[in-house]
Chain A
Amino acid sequence: GENVEQHPSTLSVQEGDSAVIKCTYSDSASNYFPWYKQELGKGPQLIIDIRSNVGEKKDQRIAVTLNKTAKHFSLHITETQPEDSAVYFCAASRDTGNQFYFGTGTSLTVIP
């Protein structure tokens, strides 16, 4: 089955700096990679996703990159703000599959 690894487990950045979270996956058939943000006391919320036919996707201050050959994908947050502080999860799945495989989460703290 699929194995998703996520690094780092914790990340602290100064407000205004960039944050990068990296994930690797093992199943070359995986073709859909969503990222979730979980704020304290809430459920994970989808923030951005990317499909395997795309190398990069941006949405304002967040972007995701995908390297299919190396089987890794990354979340980039620029100009971080205190409200970006949360736990972030990457995930991998495939269209023909029946479940999502989640990374172990990254706790991001943005220091004002």
Chain B
Amino acid sequence: DTAVSQTPKYLVTQMGNDKSIKCEQNLGHDTMYWYKQDSKKFLKIMFSYNNKELIINETVPNRFSPKSPDKAHLNLHINSLELGDSAVYFCASSRNFGSAGNTIYFGEGSWLTVV
């Protein structure tokens, strides 16, 4: 019973393609995130949703579009993939931003390789 699950785990695709990564959490959390981890292991926040509402939108190309159909799901769609998009994308969730001990729980990651 994985708490934060994301699919696919591995994705190899050609430049210019459009792809989606799906994420679901069964923790009952209100806030979900997408992080990008580059080859140097840096964790960079991309987006955050609280109860289906976008609350963090870092400087990310417009080709990246998050969608949250409900508070348990946050999907990431990427248009016109570029070589530089190759990275590991982590979905995460937390109880409620702004509440005490608001710990983030990460999924297992989606390894995206653009060729």
Residues of A within 8 A of B48 (CB): 98-99
User: In whole Å, how far is A47's beta carbon from the nearest beta carbon of chain B?
Assistant: 11
B27 at the interface (CB under 8 A from A): no
In the bound assembly, the distance between CA atoms of A49 and B105 in angstroms comes to 13
| Size category, A interface | 20 to 34
A43 at the interface (CB under 8 A from B): yes
Contact of A105 among B41, B100, B101 (CB under 8 A): B41
Question: What residue of chain B has the Cβ atom nearest to residue A96's Cβ?
Answer: B98
Residues of A within 8 A of B97 (CB): 97-99
A61 at the interface (CB under 8 A from B): no
In the bound assembly, the distance between CA atoms of A82 and B109 in angstroms comes to 23
User: In whole Å, how far is A54's beta carbon from the nearest beta carbon of chain B?
Assistant: 12
| Size category, B interface | 20 to 34
Interface of B is mostly: loop
Tell me whether B55 and A44 are in contact (CB under 8 A).
Answer: no
Known contacts A32-B102, A96-B98, A98-B98: A43-B108 contact under CB 8 Å: yes
Contact of B109 among A43, A89, A98 (CB under 8 A): A43
Tell me whether B106 and A100 are in contact (CB under 8 A).
Answer: no
User: In whole Å, how far is A50's beta carbon from the nearest beta carbon of chain B?
Assistant: 11
In the bound assembly, the distance between CA atoms of A49 and B109 in angstroms comes to 22
Question: What residue of chain A has the Cβ atom nearest to residue B90's Cβ?
Answer: A43
Contact of A43 among B50, B55, B99, B107 (CB under 8 A): B107
User: In whole Å, how far is B22's beta carbon from the nearest beta carbon of chain A?
Assistant: 15
Question: What residue of chain B has the Cβ atom nearest to residue A49's Cβ?
Answer: B103
Tell me whether B90 and A49 are in contact (CB under 8 A).
Answer: no
9 contacts between A and B (CB under 8 A): A32-B100, A41-B109, A42-B108, A43-B4, A44-B90, A45-B106, A49-B103, A95-B98, A97-B98
B residues near A (Cβ < 8 Å) are: 4, 40-43, 45, 48, 50, 55-56, 90, 92, 97-109
